[in-house]
């Protein structure tokens, strides 16, 4: 995979796995990642699927309809890649937090749905439900922040609440923040996400 790694203040500290939206690259969320956790290591990853020339982490059949076979394949691939990157760059594999937007948030959610222990926690900006009709792993105590838009044309409030409910029923500690600017990440979302992540990281230290 094409990636960008920036070492934080400590190899044992948190690493933010940065997952861009459709059409993005491995550098798109670096500035956001540094704002969220100034001392963390940052690992930006580029999606390997192309849709009309735009990078994505997995295929979709149409707007809002995911190619489930490809989603599973790419989720497993990303899970294995994080293991390999931890060895290559020397970060703590057990202290990886995903930060994803839109398509990137969806594959981060898929990691939570399919691989227990893959992520220490996650910040999901405008995600959808990655899969339905499956049993989720035990997510007891896993902190998840969801930034959503009450008027998001791609992720309806109903879908957002469904995702939050699925995660909570599997034990995740979910915080849901509602903005009002459609499908984009707002400064208010970022401010609340910074406070949320800072609180969880401070608890660990």
- What's the CA gap between 102 and 161, in Å, rounded? 16
Active-site entry in 41, 110, 114, 152:
152
152 as an active site residue: the answer is yes
Active-site entry in 28, 41, 102, 118:
102
Active-site entry in 92, 183, 188, 200:
183
C-alpha torsion 98→59→75→27, nearest 10: -40
Is 112 in contact with 129 (CB distance < 8 Å)? no
102 as an active site residue: the answer is yes
Burial-class residue 153 by CB neighbours within 10 Å (0-12, 13-18, 19+): exposed
Q: How far does the chain reach from its first CA to its final CA, in angstroms? A: 32
Residues assigned a catalytic role: 102, 152, 183
């Amino acid at each position: 995979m094409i990636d960008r790694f920036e070492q934080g203040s400590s190899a044992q500290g948190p690493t933010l796995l940065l997952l861009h939206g459709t059409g993005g690259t491995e550098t798109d969320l670096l500035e956001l990642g540094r704002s969220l956790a100034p001392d963390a290591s940052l690992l930006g990853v580029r999606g390997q699927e192309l849709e009309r020339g735009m990078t994505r982490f997995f295929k979709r059949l149409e707007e809002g309809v995911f190619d489930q076979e490809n989603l599973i394949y790419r989720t497993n691939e990303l899970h294995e890649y994080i293991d390999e990157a931890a060895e290559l760059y020397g970060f703590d594999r057990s202290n990886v937090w995903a930060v994803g937007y839109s398509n990137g948030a969806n594959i981060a959610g898929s990691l939570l749905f399919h691989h227990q222990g893959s992520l220490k926690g996650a910040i999901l900006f405008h995600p959808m439900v990655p899969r339905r009709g499956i049993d989720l792993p035990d997510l007891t105590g896993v902190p998840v922040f969801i930034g959503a838009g009450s008027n998001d044309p791609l992720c309806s409030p109903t879908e957002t609440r469904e995702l939050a409910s699925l995660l909570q029923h599997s034990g995740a500690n979910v915080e849901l923040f509602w903005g009002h600017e459609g499908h984009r990440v707002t400064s208010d979302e970022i401010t609340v996400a910074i406070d949320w992540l800072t609180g969880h990281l401070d608890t660990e230290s």
